[in-house]
Homo-oligomer: A and B are copies of this chain.
Amino acid sequence: MKVTIKDIAKAVGVNVSTVSRALNGKPGVSDELRGKITQIADQMGYSPDMTATGLKKGKTKIIGVLIPDIANPFFAQIVRGMEKVFRPVGYHLLLCSTDEDPEHEEENLKTLLRQRVEGILAAPVDSGGNKVFYTRVLENGIPLVFFDRIVPDIETSYVITDNEAGIRELVEYLHKNGHESLGVITLRSRSFTGRVRLNGTLKVCKELGITIKDGWILDGKSGQEGAYEAARRLFSFEERPTALLVQNNLMMLGVMKAMKDLRLKVPDDISVVCFDDSYWNQIFDPPITCVAQEPEQMGLVAATLLLDKIMHNGKNSKTILKAHFIERESVAKI
Contact = CB atoms under 8 A, between A and B. Distances in A.
A55 interface: yes
Contacts of A111: 61, 90, 92
B282 A285 contact: no
A27 interface: no
A297 interface: no
Contacts of A256: 283
Contacts of A92: 94-96, 111, 115
Contacts of A280: 253, 279-280, 283
A136 B181 CA distance: 64
Interface of A is mostly: mixed
A52 B55 contact: yes
Contacts of A279: 73, 224, 253, 278-280
Q: Count copies of this chain in the complex.
A: 2
Nearest to A69: B80
Interface string A226-262: 0000000000000000000000000001001100100
A116 B50 contact: yes
Nearest to A249: B279
Q: Point out which of A51, A280, A282 has the most chain B C-beta atoms below 10 A from its C-beta.
A: A51
Interface string A79-97: 1100100010010111111
A302 interface: no
Interface string A106-132: 000011011110000000000000000
25 contacts: A2-B141, A45-B140, A47-B110, A47-B113, A48-B114, A49-B55, A51-B60, A61-B115, A62-B94, A70-B76, A70-B79, A70-B80, A71-B79, A71-B296, A73-B73, A73-B279, A92-B111, A92-B115, A93-B94, A224-B279, A253-B283, A257-B282, A260-B287, A279-B280, A284-B285
